[in-house]
Amino acid sequence: MRTQPYLDYHATTPVDPRAVAAMMPYFSERFGNAASRTHGAGRDAQAAVERARDQIARLIGASREQLVFTSGATESNNLAIQGTAFARRRRGTHIVTLVTEHRSVLDTCAALEPHGFRVTRLPVRSDGLVDLATLEAALDDDSVLVSVMAANNEIGVLQPIAAIGEMVRRRGIVFHCDASQAVGKIPVDVTAWGVDLMSFTAHKMYGPKGIGTLYVRSGEVEPLPLIHGGGHERGLRSGTLNVPAIVGFGEAAAISQQELAAESVRLTALRDRLLAGLSAGVSDLRVNGSLSHRLPINLNVSVRGVDGDSLAPALDSIGVSTGSACSSGTSEPSHVLRALGVPDDLARASIRFGLGRWTTAGDIDGAIAHVTMVVTRLRELEAQLQAPRRC
């Protein structure tokens, strides 16, 4: 199915061939506009959309009328945060989130500040988890929205969403969760989690890019729309629906629901094999973030005594993401690793592994051997450079 090694399933995933097959007819023979109710082609497309909505809703314990289709989690986060802030601004203007959130949450919150909103960005503990007492202390009478992600996209740590949901909703504050890395990977239930709004995206769970959704608990927490027009999606997001992508998203959700339990056991074992192999081969390895509260597919480590800028190109061939300036295209080390208190040199010399549906034991053993070889070589080079010069 793929030719190059790939261990970056947090960045995106290939579309499952079964989802591709389900999508195909909706590009051509079954091309109708799901909003055209006056003829068979439109009704056929609408039926396909509603079937997909059911499949996706079932995966998170929701019902289909609670899902709003968007272009992805970035848009869902914008709709949830901006839409709620403006819907509630007469009640209060305080928003609470975490320093380790995805940029699409942090930047959306920052964009609200010039409009009179106040944003509290809570720190996390050195294991990456938010302290519940710290969160509780941050809430005040002016708080209208709390946004906390379920699973972190860099270090894979799982926040205590159900406990946060209980605490936040008891105060009548809207609770939004970015669950982009969690849905399809761990069991998610919107009722047990107590979320009012939840974002996720198809391309992180073996569906196509450019389609996502916002779960909106019915009733009192409707956000104001950002995109106006034909009144699609109950007026919350206008624009002709991307029917083939929605069908692929639905199929991907149905497959995930069926395979989640077995896949998570298989990938946890592979991830643990990866950690054991790396620990044996590379001395002084630092694991970033809690190991016990973590996605099965994630491992994030830092290696001491190695320059991050040399590490990144040397690891190119195994398809991982690294924390160095070169590979991520920014000069700043990861804001997530910084929040954990990881020193900048170690944050740059970090490696994020994201395992997925097509990862094999052979891929893992290959990655262990390659990383061990690269780190040993780079450390030797470093030692030579630092050795006192003899004349």
Annotated catalytic sites, by residue?
Answer: 326
Number of residues near ligand PLP (by CB under 6 A)? 14
State in angstroms the smallest separation of the CB of 162 from ligand PLP.
Answer: 18
Nearer to ligand PLP, 204 or 232 (CB): 204
> Is residue 180 a contact residue for ligand PLP (CB under 6 A)?
yes
> Is residue 300 a contact residue for ligand PLP (CB under 6 A)?
no
Identify the residue whose tokens are 């991307």: 242
C-alpha–C-alpha distance, residues 46 and 87, integer Å: 29
Q: How many CA atoms are closer than 13 Å to the CA of 325, on its beta-carbon side?
A: 6
Return the residues of window 73-132 that contact ligand PLP according to CB under 6 A.
73-74, 102, 104
State in angstroms the smallest separation of the CB of 27 from ligand PLP.
Answer: 21
C-alpha–C-alpha distance, residues 193 and 163, integer Å: 8
> Is residue 321 a contact residue for ligand PLP (CB under 6 A)?
no
> Is residue 201 a contact residue for ligand PLP (CB under 6 A)?
yes
Cα 118 versus chain centre, distance: 25
User: Are residues 112 and 82 in contact, defined by beta-carbon separation less than 8 angstroms?
Assistant: yes
C-alpha–C-alpha distance, residues 169 and 82, integer Å: 19
* Residue of 48, 149, 173, 177 interacting with ligand PLP (CB under 6 A): 149
* Residue of 181, 324, 327, 350 interacting with ligand PLP (CB under 6 A): 181
Please list, in sequence order, all residues whose beta carbon lies within 8 angstroms of the beta carbon of residue 215, skipping any fewer than 6 positions away: 60, 62, 66, 67, 68, 190, 195, 197, 198, 199, 200
Name the segment binding ligand PLP (CB under 6 A); options: 20-28, 92-100, 176-184, 269-277: 176-184
State in angstroms the smallest separation of the CB of 371 from ligand PLP.
Answer: 23
* Residue of 97, 153, 159, 322 interacting with ligand PLP (CB under 6 A): 153
- Taking every pair of Cα atoms in the chain, the longest distance, rounded to a whole number of angstroms, is 89
Name the segment binding ligand PLP (CB under 6 A); options: 84-92, 196-204, 348-356, 366-374: 196-204
Q: Taking each helix axis from N to C terminus, what angle separates 40-59 and 243-281, rounded to the nearest 10 degrees?
A: 30
Residues that bind ligand PLP (CB under 6 A): 72-74, 102, 104, 149, 153, 178, 180-181, 201, 203-204, 212
